[in-house]
Amino acid sequence: MVDAACDLPPEFLAAHGIDVLPIQVRDASGQALDLADPATRLAFYAGAMRAQARSLETVPCRPAAIVERALGQWVRRYDFVFCQTLSRSRSAQYDHATRASFEVLSDYRASRDAAGRSGPFALRVQNSGSFFAGQGVLAAETARLIASGLPPTELRTRLERLGEAVQAYAVPRDLGFLRARMLRRGDHSLGRLGTLGSRLIGLRPVLSGRRDRTRVLARVRGHKAACGRLLAHLRRQVERGLQAPFVVLSYAGPLEELRALPGHAELAASCEAAGVRLLECVMNPPGAVNLGPGALSAGVLGKRRKFQ
């Protein structure tokens, strides 16, 4: 189980039975926006989202809703559930899921008995320490390990180690939008990111997210050039070897724009040669609402390497 900030293609989620906890996006009036339809989502990214940058709000799934879903579905179908969330430093979702897990583990017996399932039920909540495509690559590897038949106790130990290896990246296109979102959240983690000087000379940051911390790796002149630098970095990581056979890319816009970015074709070729699966999707609404239209997010599991 993941939350809605996790970037993976819908067909991958469905094929691997990955449940998704909702994170609502609300406008200035408090109304929840329905962005489930891909066409509606892309239209929102292209227009209305930019105009509402200062008023949009993301609301994580509440503990009561998690308890209801767990008792109504999970305990009736599964013996062990892994719940992976957005970085604890960026969202209350981990805390909500952890609080819900205590109630579920103390009250699940009646629901499980009613479904005719014997034996105990276990629920493990994991803080991914990451965001968006970084969450996605951890979830993809978790699904692969489950499919391989790895016992839950071994899987839990493996996931703790993999959580330390998640490398998430992002390149925002609209610094004005990103700065407005950071000011709304009171987020000063990236210092003077988005200042007038940076915007005037066209610098775009390449961001890194790891172990609940976000930092600026580099500032590159031009959005496409910054994306190209990131994609080239990912290609070198693939060629040097990853800890899981996945690269996840998400883009807050049409995937045709993602695939036209400099370095994408070379990354795709390197992935194919190395037997690494390249998973691409339109960025999730909570991610796009925070990074802005045209943002790129990427995730791999591997050693931390110098960004060149």
Residue 45 has pLDDT above 50, yes or no: yes
Looking at residue 196, its pLDDT comes to 44
Residue 200 has pLDDT above 60, yes or no: no
Q: Does residue 227 or residue 201 have the better pLDDT?
A: 227
**The domain 165-301: what is its CATH number?**
3.30.1180.10
Looking at residue 177, its pLDDT comes to 77
Residue 36 has pLDDT above 90, yes or no: no
Closest CA to 129 of 140, 121, 137: 137
Domain ranges of the chain: 2-164, 165-301
Q: What fold is seen in the domain 2-164?
A: Rossmann fold (3.40.50)
User: Torsion over CA of 235, 237, 242 and 247, rounded to 10 degrees?
Assistant: -40
Alpha helices in 47-147 (DSSP H): 48-51, 63-69, 75-77, 93-107, 109-114, 133-147
Looking at residue 170, its pLDDT comes to 96
pTM for the full predicted model: 0.92
How crowded is residue 236: how many other Cβ atoms within 10 Å of its Cβ? 14
> Across the chain, what does the average pLDDT equal?
91
Mean pLDDT of all residues in 210-238: 94
Task: Give pLDDT tens digits for 15-29.
Answer: 999 999 999 999 888
Domains 2-164 and 165-301 share a fold: no
Mean pLDDT of all residues in 246-263: 97
Residue 279 has pLDDT above 50, yes or no: yes
